[in-house]
Homo-oligomer: A and B are copies of this chain.
Amino acid sequence: MKAEIISIGTELLLGEITDTNSAYLASQLPPLGLDLHFMSTVGDNQQRLVDTLQQAWERSNVIIATGGLGPTQDDITREAIAELLHEEITIDSDLVKRFEELFSYYKIDMPQSNIRQAGVIPSAQIIPNPRGTAPGWWIERDNRILITMPGPPREMQSMWTNELLPKLQQRMGGTVILSKTLKTFGLTEARVDELASPFLSATNPTLATYAKLDGIHLRITAKAAAASEAEELIAQREADIRAILEDHVWGADSDTLEGIVGALLAAKGLALACMESYTGGLLANIITNVPGSSKYFRGGLVAYTNEARAAFEFDAQLVSRHGAVSAETAEAMATTVREKLAADIGIGLTAVTGPTEIEGKPLGTIFIGIDDGQCRQSFTRNYPGNRLQVKQRAVTSALFELRRSLL
Task: Name 27 A/B residue pairs within 8 A (Cβ), A-sorted.
Answer: A13-B36, A15-B24, A15-B27, A22-B41, A37-B42, A38-B41, A40-B40, A55-B55, A271-B307, A273-B308, A278-B288, A279-B285, A280-B288, A281-B288, A281-B300, A284-B302, A285-B285, A289-B387, A292-B355, A293-B304, A294-B304, A299-B301, A299-B304, A300-B301, A300-B302, A301-B301, A311-B342
**Is the beta-carbon distance between A281 and B285 smaller than 8 angstroms?**
yes
A130 at the interface (CB under 8 A from B): no
Contact yes or no, A38 B30, CB < 8 A: no
For window 17-43 of A, CB contacts with B under 8 Å fall at 17-20, 22-30, 36-43
Task: Give the chain B neighbours of A16 by CB distance below 8 A.
Answer: 23, 27, 210
Given contacts A308-B299, A388-B289, contact A48 B37 (CB under 8 A): yes
Q: Which residues of B contact A387 (CB under 8 A)?
A: 289, 291
In the complex, A305 has a CB within 8 A of chain B: yes
A249 contacts partner chain B, Cβ-Cβ < 8 Å:
no
User: Given the complex of chains A and B, what is the CA–CA distance between A227 and B407 in angstroms?
Assistant: 64
List A residues 267-324 near B (Cβ within 8 Å): 271, 273, 276, 278-285, 287-289, 291-294, 297-305, 307-308, 310-311
Nearest Cβ on chain B to A298's Cβ, whole angstroms: 5
Least CB distance from A274 to B in Å reads 8
- Does A241 sit within 8 A of B, measured CB to CB? no
Instruction: Give the complex CA separation of A315 and B391 in angstroms.
Output: 33
Contact B311–A305 (Cβ < 8 Å): no
Is A263 at the interface (CB under 8 A from chain B)? no
Residues from chain B with a CB closer than 8 A to the CB of A308 are 273, 298-299, 341
The answer to the question of A239 belonging to the interface, with a C-beta cut-off of 8 Å to chain B, is: no
> Known contacts A14-B27, A292-B355, A299-B305; is A281 also within 8 Å of B278 by CB?
no
Minimum Cβ distance to chain B for residue A294 (Å): 6
Q: Which of A30, A291, A305, A388 has the most CB of B within 10 A?
A: A305
**A71 surroundings in chain B (CB, below 8 A):** none
> Which residues on the B side are within 8 Å of A27 (C-beta)?
14-16
Given the complex of chains A and B, what is the CA–CA distance between A43 and B2 in angstroms? 13
For A343, list chain B residues within 8 Å (CB).
Answer: 307
Indicate if A242 sits at the interface (CB-CB under 8 A).
Answer: no
What's the Cα separation between A293 and B308 when bound, in Å? 14
A13 to B28, CA, bound (A): 10
A67, chain B: closest CB distance, angstroms? 13
Contact present for A285 and B280 (CB under 8 Å) = yes
Is there a chain B Cβ closer than 8 Å to A114's Cβ?
no
Contacts of A293 in B (CB 8 A): 280, 304
- Separation of A14 and B391 alpha carbons in the complex (Å): 30
Chain B residues with CB below 8 A from A289, complex form: 280, 387-388, 391
Q: Are B311 and A304 in contact (CB under 8 A)?
A: no
Name which residue of chain B comes closest to A26, CB basis: B15
Contacts of A14 in B (CB 8 A): 26-27, 30, 36
Of all chain B residues, the one with the shortest Cβ separation from A395 is B285
Q: Are A340 and B354 closer than 8 Å at their CB atoms?
A: no
Whether A281 pairs with B302 at a CB distance below 8 angstroms is: yes
Also in contact, A19 and B13, with CB within 8 A (given A288-B278, A307-B341):
no
How far does the alpha carbon of A17 sit from the alpha carbon of B212 in the complex, in Å?
A: 11
